[in-house]
Amino acid sequence: MAANSQFAMAVHILTLLARKGDQNLKSDAIAHSVNTNPVVIRRILGQLAHADLVASQTGASGGTKLARSPEEICLVDVYKAVSCGEVFALPSRPASQDCPVGRNIESVLCNLQKAIDRSVAEKLGEFTLARVLEMIDSEDALAA
Amino acid sequence: MAANSQFAMAVHILTLLARKGDQNLKSDAIAHSVNTNPVVIRRILGQLAHADLVASQTGASGGTKLARSPEEICLVDVYKAVSCGEVFALPSRPASQDCPVGRNIESVLCNLQKAIDRSVAEKLGEFTLARVLEMIDSEDALAA
DNA sequence: AGGTATTGTAACTATACTTGTTACAGTTAT
DNA sequence: ATAACTGTAACAAGTATAGTTACAATACCT
């Protein structure tokens, strides 16, 4: 499969929007920077809008801008907006209830899953969009 | 897609093997507990064998047992054995190099990816197979 | 009002991964 | 020898992502 890169694209998109400040940015311009199709961008923007991270305007001179300041947008929010939030999946078929292990593995795995997902969320909680923007700009300064 | 549940199945399998101690367990018996096809089990066992977590014997009265004690098998090892170890993917297409954000986003995302993957690995490093076994057995004791 | 630009979304294709399944060669105990 | 396993190839079905085209709905601008 094409590995799920929506989170990466979402961060890219939000970084562009953050730089644009209060101005609307068109999906076409974003698509150019991300190097993909505008519809792919608009799909992701839809998910971000649903999470109240961005706001779009239709019509001529429309486009999208951030719904909050970059300091108030956390990468956990982005992650939750565009992914299922689960690092690994539980089996689709239930284990055998005839087996002592099968009977209890599901709840153990479920707790483990929650612990792992929580640790990802906590780590992503350490980063704001503002900080990503700083990193981008400082890398650019280094290259200059 | 069918979500990737190989890690969950691998933990289930290893728990069964841990309970069996030094005795060989057949893929058929494992498949019964996991409620799937023996070939699916053998595929995962192959990955676990490659990581030196289990050892199999072919032939009549063959099967598989742990290659180390449950105290020496960590869930990070299992995770690394059966998955790519990446919580999110980087985009397959390179970003536009004409754009200041596009030029630098990849290295920022790559560092972020490493940080997240590291935090997952650290959390999984807190659990040994022995501890999973304890959890399974204590849940069983509660149910009894 | 009318023309134009832009979003939102449906529909379709190509690609690729996971799971389940059958089949069978190779290997080992009895 | 025979029977019982593993290892693995090959294939089908299901499903997710990414890319693309197309178009209705919406809003600006003259």
Question: Residue B2: pLDDT above 80?
Answer: no
- Rounded to an integer, what distance in angstroms lies between the CA atom of residue A12 and that of residue B107? 12
High-pLDDT (> 70) share of chain A, %: 99
Which of the four pLDDT bands, split at 50, 70 and 90, describes residue B82?
A: very high
Q: Which of B101, B115, B4 is nearest to A9 (CA)?
A: B101
Percent of chain B at pLDDT > 90 equals 93
Residue A110 lies inside a defined structural domain of this protein: yes
Question: Whole-number Å distance, CA A55 to C1' C20?
Answer: 44
pLDDT, one tens digit per residue, over B113-136 is 999 999 999 999 999 999 999 999
Instruction: Report the pLDDT value the prediction gives residue B143, as an integer from 0 to 100.
Output: 73
Inter-chain residue contact A35 with B105, CB threshold 8 Å: no
Total of domains in chain B: 1
* Radius of gyration in angstroms for the set of CA atoms belonging to chain A, rounded to a whole number: 19
User: What domain range is A130 assigned to?
Assistant: 6-143
What's the burial of B45, exposed, middle or buried (CB within 10 Å: 0-12/13-18/19+)?
Answer: buried
Element (H, E) at A123: helix A100-124
Q: What pLDDT was estimated at residue B78?
A: 98
B17 located within any domain = yes
pLDDT for B131 equals 98
Note whether residue B1 is domain-resident: no
User: Which of A4, A12, A88 shows the shortest C-beta gap to B105?
Assistant: A12
pLDDT in tens, A60-106: 999 999 999 999 999 999 999 999 999 999 999 999 999 999 999 99
Mutate which: B17, B35, B97, B106, vs A, most A CBs within 10 A = B35
Q: Is B131 a domain residue?
A: yes
* Residue B130 placed within a domain: yes
In tens, the pLDDT along A31-51 reads: 999 999 999 999 999 999 999
Which pLDDT band, with edges at 50, 70 and 90, does A139 fall under? Answer: confident
State which residue of chain A sits closest to B91, comparing Cα positions. A5
Rounded to 10 deg, the angle between the B100-124 and B75-82 helix axes is 130
Q: Would residue A1 count as lying in a domain?
A: no
- Using alpha carbons only, give the angle A32, B1, A86 rounded to the nearest 5 degrees: 80
A89 touches strand D (CB under 7 A): no
Structure confidence at residue B122 (pLDDT): 98
For residue A59, which nucleotide's C1' is closest to its Cα?
A: D27
Q: pLDDT category, B1, cuts 50, 70, 90?
A: low
- Segment 4-33 of chain A within 8 Å of chain B by CB: 4-5, 7-9, 11-12, 15-16, 19, 32-33
Q: Which residue is nearest to nucleotide D7 (CA to C1')?
A: B42
**Average pLDDT for chain A:** 96
Q: Which residues pair with B65 in a beta bridge?
A: B55
pLDDT in tens, B22-70: 999 999 999 999 999 999 999 999 999 999 999 999 999 999 999 999 9
Q: Is residue B52 part of a domain?
A: yes
pLDDT at B96: 98
How many contacts, defined by CB atoms under 8 Å, are there between A and B? 172
Question: Is A75 among the domain residues?
Answer: yes
Nearest nt (C1') from A28 Cα: C6
Which token pair is B138?
């204590």
- A28-32: average pLDDT: 98
For residue A57, what is the domain's CATH number?
1.10.10.10
Confidence grade of residue A143 (pLDDT, cut at 50, 70, 90): confident
| pLDDT at residue B21 greater than cutoff 80 | yes
Q: With 70 as the cut, is the pLDDT of residue A9 above it?
A: yes
B12–A109: do the CB atoms touch at under 8 Å? Answer: yes
Q: Which residue has the higher pLDDT, B32 or A144?
A: B32
